[in-house]
Amino acid sequence: MKELKKYTGGDSSLRIDLKEWQDIGELPEFRNNPFLPVRTIPPEVRKYIDILDVSSNGVRIKAKNYVGIIPLSEEIMLTVSPKAPMEDFLYVLYKAQGRKVSIKELREMVRIGRKYAKEYPNIFHFLIYVLLVELEKIRSFGFLKKSKFNIQSKVIKGKLLVKESIKSWLKGNGSAVCGSFEMSKDNSENRAIKFTLWTLLSLYSPSLGKEIRNNFFEKYRWFEDVPLGKGIDFVDDVEEVITYRTLPSSRSYYYDILNLCMFFITHSTLEYKSPKEVKVKSFVVDMNKVFEEYIYNVLREKLNNPYEVKRHQKRTLFDNTSKYEIEPDYLILKNNKIKIIVDAKYKNEPTTDDFYQVLVYADRYNVTETMLVYPSWTGETYTESFAFKEKRVTVFYYDMLNVEKSERDLIATVMEK
């Protein structure tokens, strides 16, 4: 337990940092005793980790394909960081969400947090620090304000609202009701930022450290005149702003801030009813889903006529009367005819079941070419080809250390078929 406290900087909450698929026994402080001092792991977080062994010393765990922060108990917090470089991870994440970002912009964002990352070597704390740095731009360049129509009855200001004034008089108030447009900080963008700050302060405070908590609280006070609200109904509006980039150019720095806020909000598996009724479970990014969406967006954006990409086209397994259905990840069409079936799997290597699955797809859709796409951390993209009677399976290893090159290589491989 002393080693754990030393490792987390002495906070009352203990923190363990792992990479994807890393065994806790690989950490220096756990090599002699690779067990966490807990009896059980909460059922709601077991799906995020592998339990390798259980002994009188506790539980031995291994990270899976979930990146984020996972509370293993009231005292122990697990953070799992991606194996890919931070800028490549963020690029994949944002592109999976349909956002148009450049790797160059993300490299600048990551550069900001490099120094801090040495002290807190996990994605959660790294991006928290980047968020704090980005928020300083609001102090330097100003808040985003939007025109808002305000109604007041105590001060005669703006346009007289006749209908509202009559209702007021009928109620015996005896005052005129006026309305005017004013520039206000109360908008979806600022509500999203305030909610993010409140979430991080309220739910993850033990893992942040005193200095960061104070920094967050200072910035939270900047938004005192922005209501916290009763939910996250601002999400759709903010997503639209990010997608279509509708903010004034003078407030373009809000995009990086909002991207980070959406990262924290959309990947926090919390139950939220009101500021007094919150229960946090974990904060995770399912990299299997992210990878699948990312590969789809790469294919969709970079394949041009005569190619077309379709998703999740269900078909019965045996015949039209069968109750069993199959659903490939992607169908690549050429001149309106299915040419290749592609499945993306976020795992280290293919299994026999993966081959069987994609060959069933090929048989049912009557195509010859299939492709399995897997992440790789070897520093290069490469392919392997396997023939099964008249069917062929190409295994494409997608280099996560250089995703821009991998995108080009994937498209080139598809077009060779």
- What is the tens place of the pLDDT at every residue in 108-146? 777 766 665 555 557 777 788 889 888 999 999 999 998
Strand partners, 18: 80
DSSP 277: E
For residue 370, the one-letter residue type is T
Is 386 buried (19+), middle (13-18) or exposed (0-12) by CB count in 10 A? middle
pTM of the model: 0.77
Q: Report the distance separating Cα 367 and Cα 328, nearest Å.
A: 13
Question: CA-CA distance, 226 to 198, in Å (whole number)?
Answer: 12
**pLDDT for 381 beyond 50:** yes
User: Which residue, among 254, 301, 271, 293, has the nearest Cα to 373 in the 3D structure?
Assistant: 293
**% of the chain with per-residue pLDDT over 70:** 77
**Contact indicator for 215, 208 with CB cutoff of 8 Å:** no
Q: Dihedral (C-alpha) 191, 196, 199, 200: value to the nearest 10 degrees?
A: -150
Pair 59, 35: CB distance under 8 Å: yes
* pLDDT for 102: 81
Give the mean pLDDT of 43-67.
Answer: 92
Pairing of strands 76-81, 146-152: unpaired
Cα Rg, the chain, nearest whole Å: 26
In the predicted model, what is the mean pLDDT of residues 372-379? 94
66, 82 Cβ separation under 8 angstroms:
no
Residue range 287-416, CATH number:
3.40.1350
CA distance 58 to 41: 10
Q: Is the peptide bond before 275 cis (omega within 30 degrees of 0)?
A: no
Distance, CA of 87 to CA of 109 (rounded, Å): 8
Long-range residue pairs from 354-360, CB within 8 A, at least 24 positions apart, any chain: 355/386, 355/388, 355/393, 358/328, 358/393, 359/388, 359/391, 359/393, 360/317, 360/326
Among residues 260, 114, 122, 112, which one has the least CA distance to residue 200? 260
Q: Hey, how many other C-beta atoms are within 10 angstroms of the C-beta on 389?
A: 7
Dihedral pair phi/psi, residue 300, rounded to 5°: -65, -40
Query: In this structure, what DSSP letter does residue 22 have?
Result: -
User: 232, 193 in Cβ contact below 8 A?
Assistant: no
Q: How far apart are CA 380 and CA 397, in angstroms?
A: 8
The residue-averaged pLDDT of 284-288 equals 91
What confidence tier does 265 reach under pLDDT thresholds 50, 70, 90?
confident
Task: Name residue 117's amino acid.
Answer: A
- The reported pLDDT for the residue numbered 36 is 92
Q: What SS3 class is residue 59?
A: strand
**Cα angle 224, 230, 231; round to 5:** 110
For residue 53, what are the CA distances in angstroms to 33, 57, 76, 107? Answer: 12, 10, 18, 39
Candidates 240, 129, 137, 141; CA nearest to 187 is 240
User: How does DSSP classify residue 370?
Assistant: E
**Over residues 343-349, mean pLDDT:** 92
Contact 200, 260 (CB under 8 A): no
Residues of the chain with CATH 3.40.1350: 287-416
**Taking residues 83-91, what's their average pLDDT?**
89
Q: How confident is the model at residue 62, as a pLDDT? A: 96
For helices 123-141 and 103-117, what crossing angle results, to 10°? 110
Percent of the chain topping pLDDT 90: 48
Does position 31 have pLDDT exceeding 90, yes or no?
Answer: yes
Greatest Cα pair distance in the chain:
89
Tens of pLDDT, residue by residue over 185-201, are: 989 999 999 999 998 88
- What pLDDT is stored for residue 109 in this prediction? 74
